[in-house]
Amino acid sequence: MAAIAPRNSSRMQSQQGVFTISHRENTFIDKAGPEGIPNTYIWRYIIPSKIKEELKNELKLLGFSKFQLFPELESIVENF
């Protein structure tokens, strides 16, 4: 179960973070959900290594940056 927590840090705000609460049983994510019902609510995306640089450039063109996701001072000083 996912729960929205108070977004009291800049990282939680920028990533729109949530917390998950899980049962004590260890269940693989691809096996989660009601038994006998196809798992249609969990997706896995594999980004081929040959397009990672292109994808990074497209995200940059759209205005996404590391600082947006990680707004701490460490992210700023990495660029210098």
Range of the domain at 32: 2-77
Instruction: Look at the chain and report how many structural domains it folds into.
Output: 1
> Does the pTM exceed 0.75?
no
**Rounded distance between C-alpha atoms, residue 61 and residue 77, angstroms:** 21
Characterize 16-52 residue by residue with b for buried, 16 or more Cβ atoms within 10 angstroms of its Cβ, and e for exposed.
Answer: eeeeeeeeeeeeeeeeeeeeeeeeeeeeeeeeeeeee
Residue 2 pLDDT: 65
Taking only the tens place, the pLDDT of each residue in 30-60 is: 776 777 676 676 777 899 999 999 999 998 8
Looking at residues 58-77, what average pLDDT do you find? Answer: 79
